[in-house]
Amino acid sequence: MPNEFRRLTFHNDEVKQAIADSSARPVSKVPGGDITLIKPVQDKDDHFYELSFFDYGKNKEENVRIAEGGALSAIIELCISTKIPLPLESQKTLRLVDQNLCLDIFMGEAAALAAAE
């Protein structure tokens, strides 16, 4: 079976929309302003994404942490709601690449290799 790999890159506005619209509610309230920084954070064995929001009108910065699973669910929901096709039988993971949140999709034998990581 051939291997296939896809990477979908999301702009910070799309990440904010995904978090705000997610039924998983990865945060109780999405801060106002724009996402200015996303960074991965590890706390013991738990993985998070820390998002920095800056509200230019109020000159105020606020940081929120989102569990990796909650962020993944929110991005997948965004893909479904915006009609981005996603294969059912695949391994899906989030990565931060050049300050962009990316959904990596592995299919075929690559899915088994990604699951083993």
How does pLDDT run across 15-52, given as a tens digit for each residue? 999 999 998 787 888 999 999 999 999 999 999 999 99
Average pLDDT over all residues of the chain:
91
Q: Is the pLDDT of residue 1 over 70?
A: no
- pLDDT at residue 41, as a whole number: 95
Percent of the chain residues past pLDDT 70, beyond the cut: 91
- pLDDT at residue 116, as a whole number: 63
Q: Is the pLDDT of residue 111 over 70?
A: no
- Better-scored residue on pLDDT, 110 or 55: 55
pLDDT category at 94 given cuts 50, 70, 90 is: very high
Average pLDDT over residues 1-16: 91
Contacts made by residues 34-42, CB under 8 angstroms, sequence distance 24+: 36/12, 36/61, 37/99, 38/12, 38/96, 38/99, 38/100, 38/101, 39/96, 40/96, 41/65
